[in-house]
Structure 1
């Protein structure tokens, strides 16, 4: 006999899918940290990392990465954050201590050259939550009595303030432009007037991947005119606009949240004059449609901006020869070390930083390298011409600034022939993903990047696991810095703010209609946010791919000689 059914109280409202997932993460967080060893929350000492024991076994052939050691690195990164303001932002002491931690493990005997590559970066900070309202309606009579509605927008869901100085707008008119607004840039180049944006807020549409690839190639039509968001921002300021709003496009869907963060990849150490001089906001697709139908917008924001000095951390393995002229090929293996100012960044991207650190230490232990480039077994493991640069990028969250600086200043002198990027490989609701080489911004680099992509895919097949391809992200991670200068690149990721589909859930598990990482760029991105099983898979696949590429003789020729070789 079945039990009688019970109806919920009329006031009961079940939590949303995302809310339920966050509750589950909170329970996981409490459980994991309740089971950590005593002293796990002590202030970390750079002279005593007691969580670590030395390697206890001789090297294996081929070597295998130990995910338990990666997890121990992540615990230390999380512990560092707890004593440095809750983040590892490029301008703060949390970033400095994280770099010292990596340097501690590398020491003097893990690199031929261990250096900090210094550069300047823009640091924009929001001092208080912004308020935005939109007035919609139309005149009720010829005396301009408005039948109007005032919509108060929710920050983080309807809009995000992404850059620019403090401002107060009151019922300001908008100037919708076609696409990204490249026609305004063309007007400025031709010294034509731009009265349509004077004293108004410009509204443009977030560019599609096809547009960004067109920008890389150039072309005659507006979709490939060669302008960037920076170009439009500065053209608008020159013409007297009050600000700029970038809305999600129709291709993004009405449900996608606003663009988060500022990817000012064209700043490139050029100084404050390249930074926006008026507020720049992003909105959802729905809000964008309202604004384009003659809406008025009000804003109250408080921000600050400074130029900071920060650095990339680089560990270089040189070939046996001491003459640089004999070095013909450099492979770069990198992950960004910084976090956003609003969170610890354990998944984004201590997961990548810890992983490449452990890859390096494992290969060194396996006898692949000693100072001077000779393997410890007495046989050369790496090709004679191979240089490897292990890189922990700074200021990725400020706009890929560190990797852009390296790409602009070191790719040529070091003869970089390929790059691997590791960013977010432990997302709690994530999916195993490989950067899709077809999304590269320059056509010429697609085919050689596909060689790296195919190698990742082969490694997934060898461990009998499924995977997906993901577009390189249009400035969302450091792989883009290398693709834009024509370096073949591959990468691993698990996803951030987008929602997992039902079909993905059926293949990979997890929760459908919830974000890949609900704690992305939030304070809950702690050790408790780590997906251990996904981290194990991604670190293993990435490590095997790195070994294959690192040992490949004449890597450049192999990459550029077609997919069938």
Structure 2
């Protein structure tokens, strides 16, 4: 943030201001905040999407539960996290006669009794590569985790990231995870942030309203960009935050719209095309890397990182 000094300052007064600014910058006193969230490079997020697309293409066109493309997607994400210094855990479950996998990544340090989680589902439907649904959320969560590593961020709270399996079959992976947490371990999670479809090609900017503090964090970020938001309703209870919410854990998240139609008022506010779905390729074979709005992906990735830094500090 650039520090601005109101009014016109000249002569000796300017020298005093400069001295005060220098003193402020070099003082030993603890800063008001531990660290500011980094900008998440959208090119890096898109590079992960390119990898997920390549994985789908090499594995029958999808990354669905029980298919080779899903496990290859999980191995790709895990490899990045392991190299970045995370402690990763693969959690296995069975659904529809096939083994599924969740990936959990813990960043060392922070208060283990206060855990901030950010997660997304990594599986696609069988009909396509699932690049917006939900490569977009998965790639943004991954790049935010890698930004934590690059910054060697040491927040007050413990950071945990998650990629869920079999969401498309009914939130199977995330529900399995929550159901297998002890009451004590559930109580340690101070917030779960969910990111499902954050790069829709005809995007809206929707914020979950489940927890007031988390909701305000996201709204404040977008207000700072001058981007209006609306309360998310299309996906209520339809993504991986639902099992956490049912267990009494505070939840929040972001969404750019699926099969619902963008209204004229929304198009006037956000741009795009009124009378058209937010994502015309929802659950279809055309949900490829061509099905991403870069601006929405960039804004939501940065908002994700902002929330992780704000809520864990």
Measure how far apart 1:318 and its partner are. Answer: 3.7
In structure 2, the CA distance between the partners of 1:411 and 1:426, relative to structure 1 (3 Å rule), is farther
**Counterpart in 2 of 1:119?**
93
2:242 to 460, 474, 480: 480
1:68 to 43, 50, 63: 43
Measure how far apart 1:317 and its partner are. Answer: 2.0
- Conserved? CA contact 1:424–1:493, under 8 Å: yes
* Length-normalised TM-score, structure 1: 0.48
SS in 1 for 2:207: strand
* Length-normalised TM-score, structure 2: 0.85
**Counterpart in 2 of 1:250?**
none
In structure 2, the CA distance between the partners of 1:491 and 1:484, relative to structure 1 (3 Å rule), is same
2:124 to 339, 345, 357: 339
Corresponding pairs, count: 277
Deviations 1:242-270 (A, max 9, x none): xxxxxxxxxxxxxxxxxxxxxxxxxxxxx
Measure how far apart 1:361 and its partner are. Answer: 0.6
Alpha-carbon distance between aligned partners in 1 of 2:58 and 2:216, rounded to the nearest angstrom: 42
1:469 to 220, 231, 251: 231
Alpha-carbon distance between aligned partners in 2 of 1:507 and 1:68, rounded to the nearest angstrom: 26
- Conserved? CA contact 1:436–1:472, under 8 Å: no
**Counterpart in 2 of 1:308?**
98
- Conserved? CA contact 1:479–1:489, under 8 Å: yes
Task: Tell which has more relative contact order, 1 or 2 (C-alpha 8 A, sep 6+).
Answer: 2
**Counterpart in 2 of 1:412?**
183
- Conserved? CA contact 1:472–1:480, under 8 Å: no
5 Å-filtered alignment, 1:221-300, equals: none
In structure 2, the CA distance between the partners of 1:61 and 1:484, relative to structure 1 (3 Å rule), is closer
**Counterpart in 1 of 2:267?**
505
Alpha-carbon distance between aligned partners in 2 of 1:483 and 1:337, rounded to the nearest angstrom: 20
**Counterpart in 2 of 1:105?**
80
- Conserved? CA contact 2:121–2:167, under 8 Å: yes
5 Å-filtered alignment, 1:3-42, equals: none
Is the radius of gyration larger for structure 1 or structure 2? 1
Alpha-carbon distance between aligned partners in 2 of 1:350 and 1:424, rounded to the nearest angstrom: 8
Alpha-carbon distance between aligned partners in 1 of 2:266 and 2:182, rounded to the nearest angstrom: 37
5 Å-filtered alignment, 1:333-482, equals: 333-368=118-153, 381-383=154-156, 386-410=157-181, 412-414=183-185, 415-437=188-210, 449-471=211-233, 473-482=235-244
In structure 2, the CA distance between the partners of 1:456 and 1:62, relative to structure 1 (3 Å rule), is closer
In structure 2, the CA distance between the partners of 1:331 and 1:86, relative to structure 1 (3 Å rule), is same
Alpha-carbon distance between aligned partners in 2 of 1:458 and 1:403, rounded to the nearest angstrom: 28
Alpha-carbon distance between aligned partners in 2 of 1:333 and 1:109, rounded to the nearest angstrom: 17
In structure 2, the CA distance between the partners of 1:409 and 1:522, relative to structure 1 (3 Å rule), is same
Deviations 1:115-160 (A, max 9, x none): 10111112xxxxxxxxxxxxxxxxxxxxxxxxxxxxxxxxxxxxxx
**Counterpart in 2 of 1:77?**
52
**Counterpart in 2 of 1:94?**
69
Measure how far apart 1:346 and its partner are. Answer: 0.1
SS in 1 for 2:66: coil
Deviations 1:58-102 (A, max 9, x none): xx9542211110011111111111110111001100001101111
Alpha-carbon distance between aligned partners in 2 of 1:61 and 1:467, rounded to the nearest angstrom: 23
SS in 1 for 2:120: strand
- Conserved? CA contact 1:472–1:479, under 8 Å: no
- Conserved? CA contact 2:234–2:257, under 8 Å: no
5 Å-filtered alignment, 1:58-207, equals: 62-111=37-86, 113-122=87-96
Alpha-carbon distance between aligned partners in 1 of 2:108 and 2:306, rounded to the nearest angstrom: 21
5 Å-filtered alignment, 1:204-219, equals: none
- Conserved? CA contact 2:36–2:309, under 8 Å: no
Alpha-carbon distance between aligned partners in 2 of 1:473 and 1:393, rounded to the nearest angstrom: 17
SS in 1 for 2:85: coil
Q: What CA RMSD, in Å, does the superposition of the two structures yield over aligned residues?
A: 1.6
* 2:309 equivalent to 1:538: no
**Counterpart in 1 of 2:107?**
317
Alpha-carbon distance between aligned partners in 2 of 1:101 and 1:532, rounded to the nearest angstrom: 22
Alpha-carbon distance between aligned partners in 2 of 1:412 and 1:318, rounded to the nearest angstrom: 23
Which piece of structure 1 moves more, 531-540 or 102-111?
102-111
- Conserved? CA contact 1:433–1:493, under 8 Å: yes
Structure 2 unaligned segments of length 5 or more: list them: 1-34
In structure 2, the CA distance between the partners of 1:64 and 1:353, relative to structure 1 (3 Å rule), is same
